[in-house]
Amino acid sequence: MAEITASMVKELREATGLGMMECKKALVETNGDAKAAEELLRIKSGAKASKAASRVTAEGVIGSYLAADGKIGAVAEVNCETDFVAKNDDFMAFAKNVAETVAKNNPADIDALLGMKLANGVGTVEEDRKALVMKLGENLTVRRVERYETSTGRLSTYLHGNKIGVMINYEGGDEALGKDLAMHIAASKPKSVDASGVNPEDIETERRIAIEKAKESGKPEAMLEKIAEGTVQKFLKEVTLLGQVFVKAEDGK
């Protein structure tokens, strides 16, 4: 039997991204043949990924990437089975690399993305996903991605606990302002930038409810429309970015 050295294991780990014991075992099984060991690990990772594929992925993280010039950005949601794995450094790095792959390659859909070379990875997105499934022992899925490219202004991204991701396109101000605006959106969840983007049906619903409440409380008929309009304006301030109180405003305005 061939001698399995630490350097052989290290090289196989770098090539596959898998754990030391798994790489050493594969080298033993293939009598020190590095290429055969890598193929064996790819086969095993695929089999393990197939077995895990039916398990529910209810946890996960958001990964983000922003080009140095602020013109192209992407966010990616990658799911796993447990919160424990969601906090794993390798898992979080995978999500970030998926976002970078999306930004740089602009895939048409998830299937196209899975066949692309993973940014900072070893193989394709799918190959590295399967390898990570084998390493972490959980089903992992790339659920959804968003990419944006702008020719005006610049982009900014913000992640809140790796669970909420925001990407905005803004003009004027510096990078700090862009980050603050993205953070505000993550915290306050506006439906649109201003009133023009709010669904008219939502506005009408608020108006109708306000009128019915006013009637129930015995308000005069002549006051109903004024009351309804006041309610609608309050609603619009609460659900639009430009109407909300900025989360970092010291005076609350």
pLDDT in tens, the chain (253 residues): 678 888 888 888 777 767 788 888 888 988 888 888 888 777 766 655 555 555 656 789 999 999 999 999 999 999 998 899 999 999 999 999 999 999 999 999 999 999 999 999 889 999 999 989 888 888 899 999 999 999 999 999 999 988 999 999 999 888 899 999 999 999 999 999 999 999 999 999 999 999 998 888 888 888 999 999 999 999 999 999 999 999 888 665 5
What is the SS3 assignment for 193-253?
Answer: CCHHHCCHHHHHHHHHHHHHHHHHCCCCHHHHHHHHHHHHHHHHHHHECCCCCCCCCCCCC
Q: Could you tell me the residue ranges of all domains in the chain?
A: 6-52, 59-150, 195-239
**195-239 carries CATH number 3.30.465.10:** no
Q: Do domains 6-52 and 59-150 have the same CATH topology?
A: no
The secondary structure of 174-185 as a DSSP string is -HHHHHHHHHHH
Select from 3.30.479.20, 3.30.420.40, 3.40.50.300, 3.50.30.10 the CATH code of 59-150: 3.30.479.20
Query: CATH class for domain 6-52?
Result: mainly alpha
Single out the residue of 140, 135, 144, 61 nearest to residue 95, CA to CA: 61
Q: Specify the DSSP element, H or E, that contains 166.
A: strand 164-170
* pTM across the whole model: 0.71
